[in-house]
Amino acid sequence: MEHQLAEIRATALSAIQSADSIDILEEIRIQYLGRKGSLTLILRSLGNIPAERRASIGKLSNQYKNEIESGLEDKKNELSKTIGSDLLRKQLIDVTLDSESATERENLGRLHPISQIQYEIEDIFTSMGFEILDGPEVETDYYNFEALNMPRHHPARDMQDTFWTEDGNLLRTHTSAIQIRGMEKVSPPFRIVGPGRVFRYESTDASHENTFYQVEGMMVDREITVAHLIFVMKQLLKEIFQRDVAVRLRPGYFPFVEPGFELDIHCLICDGAGCSVCKQSGWVELLPCGLVHPNVLRMGGINPEEWSGFAFGLGLNRLVMMKYGINDIRHFLSGDIRFLKQF
């Protein structure tokens, strides 16, 4: 009997040490200490053992039972700590860390610099009481040219190299078409701006692209003068660059304004010293503008004898170039992730 008890003890303790889960420990407990466990059966059979051996066998059985129970308890505590540590490592939330890992941040998308400046400009104009309008990128000849005082065969059309479609429409060469569509929908006095993508069939270089972005606007009210135009433009540039920007007005011909101007800004790339962006002049052509031509007001259903206004067109690409010191407009459509990650 002593030999059988010693074998049960050794087998049980060995199984306990090899157990790798609390469920297995429970199976071992049932196998040896359960109602039908091997050690329990021996304890129940003590009445069949001769009286002179009963005390020693009982004492030894209880000793082994206590050792097995103690082994089960120690192993259970050990496994509980290990399992808890594993869970802690897997589920721990360190509130002192960033909500995203560096790798996740690296893979996040971001706004294109053109989109960033467009939204910024929209906010600036909205704060000055302008309404944001939109229009189609594939335009009709009427809205892109005729309604802007450029009838068929007008030589000013040659200033804008145009992508024509087979059905006689075109990819808009400027967002001025939005102004005509806007005048058909709103009544003066009004302030509107129309940002968007435009297209020109021309050669590319450091300051010219065949696809670029503009925001064009118009303000119509009574007794509008060039002074109103200059104030709004300088206020816009001041908000964008967060400083006063030197500007100059040059006479310029645009069929939809009279008088017309070219508004240039002091080149912020070279600080006026001369570079490829400003064509060594120290100034960058940024903003064609002027007072709205009476014919354009009439095409929009507005009486030029009663109302007047100013209009402008701003190149977003060149504006971003000035703001961030970008020396080649072709970077915007290059698809180079290294360029875009800087913004």
Q: How confident is residue 277, by pLDDT bands cut at 50, 70 and 90? A: confident
- In the chain, how many H helices and how many E strands? 12, 9
**What would the two tokens of residue 207 be?**
């300051």
> Taking a C-beta distance cutoff of 8 angstroms, is the pair 260, 313 a contact?
no
Whole-model pTM over 0.75:
no
pLDDT digits (tens, 9 = 90+) for 106-155: 667 778 999 999 999 999 999 999 999 999 999 999 999 999 988 888 88
pLDDT digits (tens, 9 = 90+) for 168-203: 899 999 999 999 999 998 999 999 999 999 998 888
CA–CA distances in Å: residue 145 to residues 164, 175, 212: 13, 11, 19
Where do the H-state alpha helices sit in 170-266?
Answer: 176-185, 226-241
